[in-house]
Chains A and B, each alone.
Chain A
Amino acid sequence: EAGVTQSPTHLIKTRGQQATLRCSPISGHTSVYWYQQALGLGLQFLLWYDEGEERNRGNFPPRFSGRQFPNYSSELNVNALELEDSALYLCASSLGPYQPQHFGDGTRLSIL
């Protein structure tokens, strides 16, 4: 069974640009979650998508957005990039609430 895959592995952008990160969940998983792990911090919940709908979002500004496609893959978009957006962005998928989330290896976003 293929795990959660994320692309790209690394992404380098400059301030003010836009970044798009992609995630393919485990086959059969309908829920996709996005997390940010900044240096020295734990995993901060960003977004939860289920069945194509945004179900919940964490305490992040609206320039963090995303979507889930009919095949349950997902995109995370970050607009007007700021230096503090530099972090590891992790995607996870699960069968639903109260089911363990399985993580990809992340996208390292660096803002110059």
Chain B
Amino acid sequence: DQQVKQNSPSLSVQEGRISILNCDYTNSMFDYFLWYKKYPAEGPTFLISISSIKDKNEDGRFTVFLNKSAKHLSLHIVPSQPGDSAVYFCAATSYSGAGSYQLTFGKGTKLSVIP
């Protein structure tokens, strides 16, 4: 039962254009969402997060949008740069007291930014 789904295993984008990575979730109890970037042979690096009380959060070139009714979030990267080429993981969590917190990850989308 995959609660966080990234349906596109890969995405190719031209340098300078917008990259849009998508993520769907099924658990309505999720209330905190994060995006991570992972280069080969390195651990995931935190990019940006959003609480369920918001529908948008921006940090430089990265913007995360949350649509709670559709249980969908997306990460926009504008403009895309070759250094953005990596695997991007969507993650979600809910917390209902000690012992009930964990981060659930999607399987990732490999982004390739073409110079």
Contacts and interface: CB of A to CB of B under 8 A. Distances in A.
Interface of A: 4, 33, 35, 41-45, 48, 55-56, 58, 90, 92, 97-98, 100-106
Interface residues of B, number: 25
Contacts of A45: 102-105
Interface in B57-115: 89, 93, 95, 98-108
Given A41-B107, A55-B98, A101 B46 contact: yes
A42 B89 contact: yes
Nearest to B98: A55
A21 to B, nearest CB: 13
Nearest to A55: B99
20 contacts: A4-B43, A33-B102, A42-B106, A42-B108, A43-B89, A45-B102, A56-B101, A56-B102, A90-B44, A92-B43, A98-B93, A100-B34, A101-B34, A101-B103, A102-B46, A103-B45, A104-B43, A105-B42, A105-B43, A106-B43
B54 to A, nearest CB: 13
In the A-B complex, list the 10 residue pairs whose CB atoms are closest, starting with the nearest.
Answer: A103-B43, A42-B107, A43-B105, A100-B46, A97-B101, A97-B95, A105-B43, A45-B102, A42-B105, A103-B44
B10 to A, nearest CB: 14
A98 B32 CA distance: 7
